[in-house]
Structure formats: C-alpha cells, structure tokens
Amino acid sequence: MEGKLSSVAKNFTPSSIQELSQLAQKCNAINLAEGFPDFPAPPCIKEAAVSAINNDFNQYRRVQGICDQLALKMKKTHGLNVNPLTDIAICCGQSEAFAAAIFSIINQGDEVLLFDPCYETYEGCITLAGGIPVYVALEPPQWTLDPEKLMRSFTSRTKAIVLNSPHNPTGKVFSRDELEIIAEGCRRWDCVAITDEVYEYITYDNQKHETIAKLPGMQERTIITSSLSKTFSVTGWRIGWAIAPASAASAIQNIHIRITDSAPAPFQEAALTALRSPIEYFETLRGEYELKRDFCMKLLGSIGFRIQFKPQGSLFLFAELPKDCLLSDVEYVEELIKQAGVVVVPGRGFFHGNESCNYQKRYIRVAFCKSGATLNAAAQKFGELINAKACPKILY
Amino acid sequence: MQAAECTWTHFEMLRPFCFKSPSTTPLFFNFSKHFQKGYSDSSFFRSNWRISNYPSFMATISSVSTHKDPVSTHDATPNITHQPVQVAKRMEKFKTTIFTQMSMLAIKHGAINLGQGFPNFDGPDFVKEAAIQAIKDGKNQYARGYGVPDFNNAIAARFKKDTGLVIDPEKEVTVTSGCTEAIAATMLGLIDPGDEVILFAPFYDSYEATLSMAGAKVKCITLRPPDFAVPIDELKSTISKNTRAILINTPHNPTGKMFTREELNTIALLCIENDVLVFTDEVYDKLAFEMDHISMASLPGMYERTVTMNSLGKTFSLTGWKIGWAIAPPHLTWGVRQAHSFLTFATSTPMQYAATVALQAPDSYFAELKTDYMAKKAILVQGLKDVGFKVFPSSGTYFVVVDHTRFGLDNDIAFCEYLIKEVGVVAIPTSVFYLNPEDGKNLVRFTFCKDEETLRSAVERMKEKLKKK
C-alpha cells in the first residue's frame, strides 16, 4: 500500500527539529533547540483570549479589526499604505499564510529562489505546489549576499524569491543595500518577493527591521507573511497573516478558506489586544531578548566557541564549531546532550545547496528564547564541565 | 539512549519530475488575460456560464464581494497599471465561497441566516473552561505537529468507543486545523496529479478545490432526490483499477443523507476489488437522527485503506476553534502528516487540551445534543412543509434540502436572492455543490443549527411573505 502515497509525500522526511525536541524530552535535556519560549505569554493577551472564549467568540470568524490594526502598523512602521479591506488575509499562523501564498502564485515548474541556509519548511511548501526551489548561498562567516550570484540565479522561470528577515537560523537582518539588490532582481525579472517577517520586532543593537515592500516598485510585487507567535510568545495559537496586493491577498484568503476555513476564533479576538500593545511592550521584548542573546554568546564562549557573527535579530545564534573540534555538527550535538544535558540543533538541516561545502556540517543553532532559569541551568551545566575539565569533546 | 541512532537526518528533498516546457509567454500579461487562457478548461467555462445566466444576483454579489477586480487601479497604490503578482492557474477554482457571499448579503438585508452551517449558540461550558485553564496553565506554545499526546489518546479512545476499532494514537492519528485541513492534507499527501478520485455530488465545496490543488481528475457521481441513494450501477461503471480514491461524506452535507450499511458494503467490495482508497468526512457523526452512523473503516478489510476524518466543531458547537483529526493506518498517516506539516505545521495548543476533555464527555452530553437538535429539526421541517416547500427526508447533520420550484423562481440562486431580499431569510443555493450546477437548480439547503426562537422567526417570515406562484 506504500504505492498509494503521492510521490511528493514519499520524498519527505520528518521535521528534524521536532524529532530533536522529542529526544530532548526523553533525556530531560535543557532545550535550547526549538524556537519557542518556555516562559509564559503576556498576561493581558491571555486574558483577552479567556474573555473571548467566555463571551462566545467561538464560531467561524474573520476578525476585520486585525486587518485594521495591521494596516495602521504598516503605515506607522514602514510608511506603507495597505487597504485593510482588500490587502490582508488572516491565516492559521505564518505557516499557513506562507503555504497559501505559495499555492496562490506558484504553478508547476515555477522556480522559487531561497537563501541558504534557511528554515526547512519553505522547500516543502514549494515542492507541494509543484514549484522548484533554487538556492542562493549566503557566504559565511558573515552570511553576506553576493549580488552577482543572486542575479545569476534568476531565470525566465523564476516566479518568486523567499526572504526571511530577521533570519532563521543565522540571525542576520538584511540591510537596506541588500534589500535593494534583491528588489532590483525582482523588478528586472518581474518576480514576486514572499517575505517571512515573524521576527520583525526582535532586532538588536538599535538595528531596525525593514520590509522589502517599502522599496520602490516593490509593494505591488511583495507578499508579506508574519504572525503573533514570536512577538507575543504564543506560538501555539496559530494566528498569522499575509499582506499583499488585493489580487494576491484575495487568492490567499480563498486558498486559506479551503485549507482550514478560519483561524482559531478566540485567538483572533486576543490578537486585537496584542496588536494594540503600547510601544513599551516591544521595547521591553527587544531589550530582554538582547540580554539573552548576549548571555548565550558568553555561554558558548566559555566552552571555546568564537562567535564570528553576532545575531542582529531573531531568537537564534548560529555558531561555528571551534577550529580544534574535529566532530561534525551532529556528533557535537550528541556529545552535548550526553555530557552536558543540553540540546541544540545541528546546522546541516538548514543547508540545501548542491555545493559540497564543509562548513555546512560545522554549525549549531542555539535558541535563546528561554527563561532566565533555563539559561542559568545551561550555564551551570557548562560550569560544572569546565571545572571538572572532563569533556575534551565539547570543551575547547 | 537513542542519540546513537542519529534521528537528525539531513533534510533532503529529491526533486520531483518537473514540467519542462519552456515558457515563452511574456511575464508582463495582466490578470484578465490569464483568465482568458482558461477558456478551454471546461470547469472554468461552466462557472463563466453560471455567471452570465444569473446577472442580477452576480451584480448584487459583486458589490459586497471581497474579490476585487485586479485590473482596476488599486486605491492604496495609484501608480499600478498592471498586476505583477499573477496568481496560479489553480486559482480558477478558488473564488470567494458562496457562504461568504450569502452571509454578506444576509447582513446587508437584515435577513435571518439559515445558510451558513454554524450555530448561533455557543459550546458547552465544560469545554470552554478547559480551554481557559489550558491558556492559564501556559499551554500556549507549539504543540507536537501531529497532536498533543493526550489528545491523540482521547481521539483513539473515542474511536474505539464509536467503532470498536483499536488504533495506535501515536502512529495512526493526526491532529489538524479542523476537518477542512484534514481533507486538504489527505488530498495533498496521498493524491498525485492525474489520479482519479470519485466524489458524490452534491459535495462540500472545499473537496473540489483541494482536489484541484492536488491535480486530481475528479469523477462525479450524482445523488438524486428524493432519497439521494447511491446509484450502484453508475458507481460500478465509474470505479476501476485506475481509481485512486473515493470520498464519502456521511452524514452528508447538504442533503442529510446517511450512507446505509448496504451502500457502504457495496462500495467496500468495489474498493477492495479495485484497490481504491477511501477518504471519509464524518464531522456530523454525532448528529445521526434516523439511523446509526457507520464508519467505513469498521467494515471488514477497510481499515487498511481508509482515512477517517472528523472534528470538534459540529459536535461541540465550537466551529471557530479549528480542531480536527485524521485516523488512518500508519502508511497512509505518514502522507497526511507530511502534507499537514507544510500546511499549518501545528494545531492550536490550548484548544487541543480542551478537546481532550470534550471527547471524554459522558454519554448524556451526546444524547442531549441529539434531543436538542431533533427538536430544532422538527420546528424547521414542519415549518418548511407548512410554507409549501417539498422537504426531502434528512437522516443526519443539521441540514435539510428542499425543492423550491413551486415558488416560481427559475433556479436556486434566483430563489435564494428572492428569499433574502423579499422574505428576509437566507438559504444556500445547492448548485454550487455540484460539478454540473443544473443538477442543483431545484434545491436549496436550510440549516437548523440555530436557537429555537430564530428558527420560529424564520418560519414566520416565510409563512408571511413567501408566496406560491
């Protein structure tokens, strides 16, 4: 009966990130792998959800107020004019918004450019829709974008380019110049930019997130996707959106209705409260995560890592293994679980390119969206190992 | 420790065979020309025909539709003269649904909405409280992709209670954002482009749309009034070794038909003979009034080839929570899970905890649910008969289908338009549930998932204002 699986499904493997989390649970390891917080969501947003459930906001709905709030935000933050009645689709998380965006514009055989390394799910969506992922490698150690390499990757079959900034796994925030280069490619080849901006409010060192949609000629060819999840620490609520020119937004909404019909209703209500949070909320969010980022960098430094690229945004640190370490990323992660009881993600799962580059097996991704207690516990474990001088395989 | 087994396999995608014809079409053509390209596609032509035949209805619709004419200049960006974001060919099947259109008209005319199938009363307190508790307890982060373990267990336990089948919650249950997503994930995970899939018309509108996303070839068998029985001869001549799957919705939306044991046995034999998969949508299984609900998976030899789908929404009047699931043997579950992981990745966490509590509700909950709905059904059905409709028997769901022709309107859409504007009541035109709209033009669907006062008011309005011609 295996013959009954579609050819697309046969080629998929389980999400490596999710498998790791399960292993960490089994070993009771400190989880610095999956990108969701282990601290509570903001109380007023939870209260809004509770209130919505009690006030019977429990049937299929589409809360127009979310679109109004988002349109206001786009104007305030990016100076973009977005029509809340026609340009926004509410979906079950950025995951669904992205899937619907892909299904709305990708035909069989269309090429989609992706930067390498990248989040593992994009490729699956593109392939499911009949598209062909084409990777453009960012160059380590600074993950720089090579303009010529990018331009060479566009062909007459390129339909779209996926831009995730702030970036998972590297923590890179694409600069204005880089956005300009990408925009130039889109304009020249008449392509669509599909963005994943879930970490839009998590940037460091006074760096600001900019959306490519605000560049000249880009709003009409950009689909922005984002969600509540990372900004409000509610990754399990499944509230996301796509912002795009009306024809695309309408198409995305129509696909969304056939995939899931509606995003969870009470959480849509709570989203109204969330999106009205005062500016202090976002400043505090940024400040706290910056502290955690710095702590994490020190933590890795203490066991011999030299961090060459300081994350400018997102919740992740993408660190190259110490030069003296002869292990691969997977072997190192294994050792870290066994010796230190800490789990992180081996970087190879984020690389897809055909280039046979050694560096693809030399990175680990550490998530620092964890409580102070968790980070301290990890520090304590490392401290014990350093004092014991007992683990040559993970101490350098 | 399992670390040595190294489950962190490199996420490698083999490139599927891709369409190699070089595109010479300039990328700069606009949206309307893209649609004209679809003229040779018969399904597009059908929808186009439908539009041109019912001009007044569509004119009303367009003023409230969310589908904006893409060729017109956009208010927000006045400098656009063409639309660079060209939507994919599959979007031809993805217009704004009839439900959205009718709901908008209902609001505009202050009509009583017996169209869209969701309750105007709320779910039970014990389930709502469980969700609230889960939120307060911090269950707000990503759930395991294929479901919170306790919930998977509860689904398996419920399935055992309902069908007698013992299943593995870890390997045979996938939690999705509603049954709608279960259907989408099943189609995308198990259907290849070009595969033949059999549908019974009338059908819930998302089936056709998701089948087109999967590139399937749809073969439709029409169920006809008065009893909407399965035409066995037609089924035998349609099903073959080329058939990949057959989709069964029982209890059935919109007719309320429930597939009998004889019908399911016949279909089962044909599926086993021709090695066909069965996808069942059983969301109304607890709203079975005139006979017992039967799951295809419980028939001999059928579990290994069946995906059984269900959800929380209808049974617990919480349609907006989007909690659904698919039950299938491991080799089929695997395909469903892969597609699901790329569609939504994970399902709402607090609601899964609440759903766990819901599925463990005592028998009295389900008994009371049935009693309540049967009372509502009686009000509506008697009322519709008194008004003069020909009412077809509905054994399950909260829908009833009627013949409207004695009121003298040309077709179902015209009748529904008249009903909203002149009478102030909403029904759903059933032609949208057929591949060939002609098959549905005499029928409209009413729902009785509304409180009794609403149902009585609607019946009153119809008695007063609906004149036989």
Structure tokens belonging to residue B284:
């109304």
Of the residues B41, B87, B337, the best mutation for testing chain A's interface (the one with the most A CB atoms within 10 Å of its CB) is B87
**Contact: B322, A237; criterion CB under 8 Å:** no
Cis peptide before B193 (omega within 30 of 0): no
Using a CB-CB distance cutoff of 8 angstroms, which residues of chain B are in contact with residue A60? Answer: 116, 118, 319-320
- Partner B contacted by A120 (CB < 8 A): yes
**Contact: B10, A251; criterion CB under 8 Å:** no
B363-387 and B452-465 helices, crossing angle to 10°: 10
Say whether pLDDT at B47 is over 70. no
Interface of A with B in 198-217 (CB under 8 A): none
Identify the CA nearest to A19 among candidates A387, A346, A358.
A346
**CATH number reported for the structural domain that contains residue A172 in this entry:** 3.40.640.10
3-state SS assignment for residue B196: strand
Query: A184 and A216 share a domain?
Result: yes
Structure tokens belonging to residue B212:
């087109």
DSSP codes, A9-76: HHT----HHHHHHHHHHHHT-EE-SSSS-SSPPPHHHHHHHHHHHHTT--SS---HHHHHHHHHHHHH
Assess whether the region B90-122+364-465 and the region B125-360 belong to the same CATH fold: no
Q: Confidence class of residue B214 from pLDDT cuts 50, 70 and 90?
A: very high
**Contact: B320, A251; criterion CB under 8 Å:** no
Where is pLDDT greater, at B93 or B424? B424
Domain that holds residue A72: 43-278
CA atoms of A209 and A175, how far apart (whole Å): 9
To the nearest 10°, report the CA torsion of B296, B297, B301, B304.
130
Say whether pLDDT at A35 is over 70. yes
Structure tokens belonging to residue B72:
């017109």
Query: A302 and A215 share a domain?
Result: no
The neighbour count for residue A335, using CB atoms within 10 Å, is 17
- Taking the alpha carbons of A155, A157, A160, A161 in that order, is the dihedral positive or negative? negative
For residue A352, the model assigns a pLDDT of 87
* The CATH number fitting domain B90-122+364-465, selected from 3.40.1670.10, 3.40.50.1100, 3.90.1150.10, 2.60.40.420: 3.90.1150.10
For residue A24, the model assigns a pLDDT of 72
- Partner B contacted by A259 (CB < 8 A): yes
A93-105 and A246-259 helices, crossing angle to 10°: 120
Say whether pLDDT at B60 is over 70. no
Per-residue pLDDT of A186-236, as tens digits, reads 999 999 999 999 999 999 998 999 999 999 999 999 999 999 999 999 999
Residue A396 maps to a domain:
no
For B430-457, what is the mean pLDDT? 94
CA–CA–CA angle B82, A224, B14 (5° rounding): 100
Query: A14 and A153 share a domain?
Result: no
For residue A94, the model assigns a pLDDT of 97
CA distances from A242 to A89, A167, B64, B73, B210 (A): 5, 18, 21, 20, 20
Residue in the block written with tokens 């709203």: B287
Structure tokens belonging to residue B147:
């479901």
Residue in the block written with tokens 């399950």: B396
For residue A391, the model assigns a pLDDT of 73
Say whether pLDDT at B118 is over 60. yes
CA atoms of A114 and A116, how far apart (whole Å): 6
Amino acid at B10: H
Count of the separate structural domains present in chain A? 2
**SS3 labels along B139-190:** CCCCCCCCCCHHHHHHHHHHHHHHHCCCCCHHHHEEEECHHHHHHHHHHHHH
**Contact: B80, A220; criterion CB under 8 Å:** yes
Structure tokens belonging to residue B251:
């209890």
3-state SS assignment for residue A6: coil
Percent of the residues in chain A that have a pLDDT greater than 70, as a whole number: 93
Structure tokens belonging to residue B324:
């659904």
Structure tokens belonging to residue B461:
């309005």
CA atoms of A304 and A325, how far apart (whole Å): 9
**Contact: B85, A265; criterion CB under 8 Å:** no
Using a CB-CB distance cutoff of 8 angstroms, which residues of chain B are in contact with residue A2? Answer: 331
Amino acid at B467: K
CA atoms of B353 and B133, how far apart (whole Å): 9
Residue of B nearest to A352 (CA): B12
Query: A186 and A235 share a domain?
Result: yes
- Partner B contacted by A181 (CB < 8 A): no
For residue A4, the model assigns a pLDDT of 52
Say whether pLDDT at A334 is over 90. no
Total length of chain B: 469
Q: Confidence class of residue A16 from pLDDT cuts 50, 70 and 90?
A: low
For residue A395, the model assigns a pLDDT of 83
For residue A396, the model assigns a pLDDT of 83
For residue B29, the model assigns a pLDDT of 22
Query: A22 and A94 share a domain?
Result: no
Say whether pLDDT at B176 is over 70. yes
Q: Confidence class of residue B462 from pLDDT cuts 50, 70 and 90?
A: very high
CA atoms of B346 and A17, how far apart (whole Å): 13
For A86-109, what is the mean pLDDT? 96
For residue B1, the model assigns a pLDDT of 33
Using a CB-CB distance cutoff of 8 angstroms, which residues of chain B are in contact with residue A193? Answer: none
Q: Confidence class of residue B98 from pLDDT cuts 50, 70 and 90?
A: confident
Residues 6+ apart with CB under 8 A from B306: B277, B278, B279, B280, B296, B297, B328
Using a CB-CB distance cutoff of 8 angstroms, which residues of chain B are in contact with residue A348? Answer: 10
Say whether pLDDT at B243 is over 90. yes
For residue B52, the model assigns a pLDDT of 27
Using a CB-CB distance cutoff of 8 angstroms, which residues of chain A are in contact with residue B344? Answer: 92-93, 95-96, 99, 238, 259-260
Where is pLDDT greater, at B36 or B348? B348
Of the residues B82, B95, B141, the best mutation for testing chain A's interface (the one with the most A CB atoms within 10 Å of its CB) is B141
Residues 6+ apart with CB under 8 A from A310: A171, A204, A205, A293, A297
Domain ranges for chain B, please list them: 90-122+364-465, 125-360
- For residue A353, the surrounding DSSP H or E stretch is none
Residue of A nearest to B10 (CA): A349
- For residue B218, the surrounding DSSP H or E stretch is strand B217-222
For residue A20, the model assigns a pLDDT of 64
Q: Where are the beta strands (DSSP E) in B335-397?
A: 390-391
Say whether pLDDT at B51 is over 60. no
Say whether pLDDT at B16 is over 70. no
**Contact: A103, B88; criterion CB under 8 Å:** yes
CA atoms of A359 and A366, how far apart (whole Å): 17
Where is pLDDT greater, at A331 or A126? A126
Say whether pLDDT at A331 is over 60. yes
Identify the CA nearest to B365 among candidates B125, B177, B160, B134.
B125
CA distances from B291 to B67, B110, B200, B279 (A): 42, 37, 20, 21
For residue B257, the model assigns a pLDDT of 97
**CATH number reported for the structural domain that contains residue A382 in this entry:** 3.90.1150.10
To the nearest 10°, report the CA torsion of B130, B131, B137, B140.
150
* The CATH number fitting domain B125-360, selected from 3.20.20.190, 3.40.50.80, 3.40.50.300, 3.40.640.10: 3.40.640.10
Strands across the sheet with B399-403, in order?
B390-391, B399-403, B443-447, B428-429
Are B137 and B333 in contact by the 8 Å Cβ rule? The answer is no
Last residue in a domain, options A278, A299, A333: A278
Where is pLDDT greater, at A5 or B299? B299
Residue of A nearest to B76 (CA): A81
For B201-221, what is the mean pLDDT? 92
Average pLDDT value over all residues in chain B = 83
Are A50 and B132 in contact by the 8 Å Cβ rule? The answer is yes
Last residue in a domain, options A228, A260, A278: A278
Residue in the block written with tokens 């202050």: B110
Q: What is the pTM of this model?
A: 0.83
Using a CB-CB distance cutoff of 8 angstroms, which residues of chain B are in contact with residue A93? Answer: 344-346
Residue of B nearest to A42 (CA): B138
Query: A217 and A292 share a domain?
Result: no
Q: Confidence class of residue B7 from pLDDT cuts 50, 70 and 90?
A: very low
Say whether pLDDT at B283 is over 80. yes
CA atoms of A215 and A230, how far apart (whole Å): 25
Whether the complex's predicted ipTM is more than 0.90 is answered with: no
- Partner B contacted by A1 (CB < 8 A): yes
A320: β partners? A363
**Contact: B94, A254; criterion CB under 8 Å:** yes
Residue in the block written with tokens 């010529």: A148
Structure tokens belonging to residue A278:
């005062």
Supply φ then ψ for residue A308, to 5 degrees: -90, -20
Query: A308 and A370 share a domain?
Result: yes
Supply φ then ψ for residue B221, to 5 degrees: -120, 125
For residue B8, the model assigns a pLDDT of 29
For B324-342, what is the mean pLDDT? 96
For B382-395, what is the mean pLDDT? 96
Residue A395 maps to a domain:
no
Say whether pLDDT at B342 is over 60. yes
Q: Confidence class of residue A394 from pLDDT cuts 50, 70 and 90?
A: confident
- Partner B contacted by A176 (CB < 8 A): no
Say whether pLDDT at A287 is over 60. yes
Say whether pLDDT at A183 is over 50. yes
To the nearest 10°, report the CA torsion of B23, B26, B30, B35.
-30
Are B409 and B442 in contact by the 8 Å Cβ rule? The answer is no
Residues 6+ apart with CB under 8 A from B24: none
Q: Confidence class of residue B78 from pLDDT cuts 50, 70 and 90?
A: very low
For B151-177, what is the mean pLDDT? 97
Residue of A nearest to B132 (CA): A50
Query: A9 and A117 share a domain?
Result: no
Per-residue pLDDT of A241-252, as tens digits, reads 999 999 999 999
Identify the CA nearest to A87 among candidates A218, A198, A194, A219.
A219
- For residue B330, the surrounding DSSP H or E stretch is helix B330-343
Say whether pLDDT at B66 is over 60. no
**Contact: B68, A86; criterion CB under 8 Å:** yes
Where is pLDDT greater, at B54 or A139? A139
Identify the CA nearest to A88 among candidates A305, A284, A313, A239.
A239
Where is pLDDT greater, at B175 or A336? B175
Of the residues A250, A327, A335, A362, the best mutation for testing chain B's interface (the one with the most B CB atoms within 10 Å of its CB) is A250
Of the residues B2, B8, B35, the best mutation for testing chain A's interface (the one with the most A CB atoms within 10 Å of its CB) is B8
The neighbour count for residue A387, using CB atoms within 10 Å, is 8
Are B346 and A16 in contact by the 8 Å Cβ rule? The answer is no
For A137-165, what is the mean pLDDT? 97
Are A227 and A240 in contact by the 8 Å Cβ rule? The answer is yes
CA atoms of A345 and A20, how far apart (whole Å): 7
B18 Cα to chain A: minimum distance (Å): 6
CA atoms of B452 and A50, how far apart (whole Å): 28
Say whether pLDDT at A389 is over 70. yes
Interface of A with B in 272-301 (CB under 8 A): none
How many CB pairs lie under 8 A apart between chains A and B?
A: 343
CA atoms of B172 and A28, how far apart (whole Å): 26
Query: A179 and A214 share a domain?
Result: yes
Where is pLDDT greater, at A295 or B72? A295
Supply φ then ψ for residue A236, to 5 degrees: -90, 5
